[in-house]
Structure 1
Amino acid sequence: MPVALTAIPANMISHEISLPPFPDDVPTVPIARISYAKLASSDKDEMDKTLKAVQTDGFFYLDLMDHSLGRVLLEEAENVVNFSKEAFDSELDEKMQFRAEKGKSMFGYKPAGTVKKTDKDLRPDTTEFFNIAKDHLLGNSESRTYPPQLMQHKEELQTFTRDSHALGILVLQVLAEQLDLPSEVFADKNKIDSLSGDHIRVTKKPPHDPSQTNVIGLPSHTDFGSVTVLFNWLGGLQIQSHDPERQGEWAYVKPLPGHAIINLGDAMVKFSNGHLKSAKHRVVPAPGAQAKVDRYSLVYFLRPADDVLMQPVEKYRNEPVVSVGGKVGEEKVYTAGEWMVRRMQHMSK
């Protein structure tokens, strides 16, 4: 994997041990646990497990503690969340100076209170976040402005971007090989030096007010891009259960210390013509005592380069076309840049 870092010993990784524990009396989905070390060494059983995970639940845990580069990434993730808190703590009018231009750009600040068309109840969400473009951080394109509390840590954000991107590329290489495709067929559509929608998202959801019912952190959706790398320390993420007794019901994905949560986006459904899955998920108030504290999370979204054509790879091109969740962008072959803009414009009220 193309990463050159100094390994951090496992005993130097700090965890959020002061947070309330995840309760043991709420429904959870037992998604697969995958070893980063085994994936990096092309362990066949682990690669098989990875393909099965993204074809069933669409999500898996990735154990980062068993590999030196994984432990580096964990340390970087905690660092990014910690210095981002200062940006979130600034006044709303200050944060709004960096607001993303709705329907035109995803980069910048998004306040809580957005209504998504994907939510049939049209509930305002309760999550605020900053989206920071990979291309702005790495100098691939001219940057918009971001809060100074974030940009004074630009080097740390650049490093986290490179390392998260490399992790996403490894996942794409594994999946290509498991589908008997050239190992770089997906990776080549997601090169780090190509202009794309790749970005960091750091989020904050305030404590839940128990007097409020039917509250949503982020409504049900699938991700746009190729690979999503999530770091979270509190519950709230939910996917739909495959337990025969709870089929289709929402259940929590319990955060595991030392693990990232990986899922695929709609671009991989498009490129594989449905042989890979982009699973619906949502964010609700954290369960139990965890609902009483601020919930932070950190995401890296790996997305296809803007000039990549959104069509199946050659192996699947003669098959009947699988629609990506009945969403926009199916009537012709768009570039990834065009496809993302259309998706943004059809998501929000």
Structure 2
Amino acid sequence: MAPIIDAPRTIEWQGKQVPVWSMRTVDYSLLLSQDPAEVEKVVNACLEDGYFMLDLDSIDGRRMLEDRQEVLKLMGRFFAAPLEAKNQYGLIDSHLGYEPVGSRTGAFGAGTKDGYEMLKVSRDEIQQGSPRVPSPIKNSGDLRILEQAIGSCNTVTKVILSALSTGMGLTGAKRFENSHRNDRPSTTTLSMMHYLPAEVTGQHKIGHQKHTDISSLTLLFSDQWGLQIRPPGECGAREMGFVAPKPGCAFVHVGDSLRFASGMKFQSCIHRVVPFKPSEHRYSIAYFLRAEDDTMFMDSEGRYVTAKDWHDQKFKAFTDPPVWQAMAPKSMILGGMVEDGADDPEPVAPPTHGSTKED
């Protein structure tokens, strides 16, 4: 079991004390065994919060933690290459290839661009023998590393999905995993993100904009501060607060597709990434489990769309200028989640350091 670490209630950022929101921790080994109490815990986390920590530090989850370490080494090699070399990969598809810094809106909205570069690998491409995976990866040991990581992530997220189906009393074709079959096309993706230091990107290329994910479930790994969430429901008026990294754990959150599939019972997680230490290189790994392309559901505006249509529309919204994002359906960027209160109205220079303080 991972050690229990009590996160501070606030942490200093941008010259003020910002909340560090508490959350449930779900034991993967117990979930794998369909332990009734753990199944109930994960269902309640998705119904009430839309996110939880998943403890993987056991014989059942440790392989995933080891695969993650190998992916981090791969990322170090890839992102250290000259930009010209990385750009040769290109963005082969919306869920496959390389995106340079500044491809999307930044953490502080209009007037900023994102401060990260990203390498994305499609699960379908790996499963099909990687016909469109860039040759430098295909012809090296890196392909094996990505295969193992995607396999581990897929198993972990399917265990969660199965537990949610059981906990919600779903049977037969209505179970969530029956729209996430391994042999059907989907945009399921392993994304590797490198957030560059502020002194490299400049004031107007910062973090990652506030949004909900396109995915059904997102399995996210990062040992560094920077991820912020806005609690849903009655907490929606509260400010964005940090997620404290927890050793041996992954942060799991619900995306749009699973919220839609649950009939809006589950909460999607509103989140963004901000620079915490301006001088550091921040690395994160996200596995986006997505429904089969032809899965049909009703979105939060009452439109019937397929999972592939939703993915393509929202991906376009992510890369559109803010003025065009404002013209998209209101549910697009935040998946229909309702929030009150304001975040940072103008870009603010990141602090020179962070410190914690208990209330």
- The corresponding residue for 2:25 is 33
Q: Pick from 87, 91, 96 the counterpart of residue 100 of structure 1.
A: 91
Question: Are 1:347 and 2:338 matched, yes or no?
Answer: no
> Cα–Cα, structure 1 residues 178 and 338, in superposed 2: closer, same or farther, change >3 Å?
same
* Contact 1:108-1:146 at 8 Å conserved across structures: no
Aligned match of 2:70: 79
What is the alpha-carbon distance in structure 2 between the residues aligned to residue 242 and residue 277 of structure 1? Answer: 7
SS of residue in 2 equivalent to 1:257: coil
Aligned residue identity for 1:307: D
User: AA paired with 1:106?
Assistant: H
Contact 1:118 1:221 in 2 (8 A): no
Q: Indicate whether 1:306 and 2:296 are aligned.
A: no
Moved more, 168-177 or 41-50: 41-50
**Unmatched tracts of structure 1, length 5 or more:** 1-9, 14-22, 312-322
Map 1:1-349 onto structure 2 (within 5 A): 25=12, 26-65=18-57, 67-100=58-91, 105-116=94-105, 120-139=109-128, 142-145=131-134, 147-148=136-137, 151-182=140-171, 185-209=175-199, 216-241=206-231, 247-286=237-276, 290-311=277-298, 323-324=299-300, 330-331=302-303, 333-349=304-320
CA positional deviation for 1:38: 1.4
Q: Is the 8 A contact 1:63 1:260 kept in 2?
A: yes
Shift of 1:241: 4.3
Letter in 2 for 1:37: S
Cα distance, 1:241–1:188 mapped onto 2, change above 3 Å? closer
Distance 1:117 1:334 in 2: 27
TM-score by length of 1: 0.80
CA–CA separation in structure 2 for the residues paired with 1:73 and 1:123: 35
- Change over 3 Å in CA distance of 1:189–1:285 after alignment to 2: same
* Change over 3 Å in CA distance of 1:146–1:340 after alignment to 2: farther
Q: Alpha-carbon deviation of 1:345? A: 2.2
1:29-81 alpha-carbon deviations (Å, 9 max, x no partner): 1111111111112222222221121222211101111x312111001101111
- Give the superposed CA RMSD: 3.0
Q: For residue 309 of structure 1, report the CA deviation from its aligned partner.
A: 1.9
Q: Compute the displacement of 1:119 (Å).
A: 6.3
Question: 3-state SS of the aligned residue for 1:277?
Answer: coil
Equivalent pairs counted in the alignment come to 309
Change in Cα spacing, 1:183 to 1:264, as seen in structure 2 (3 Å) is farther
The residue type equivalent to 1:83 in the other structure is: L
More strand by share: 2
- Given that 2:121 and 2:133 are in contact with CA atoms closer than 8 Å, whether structure 1 keeps it comes out as no
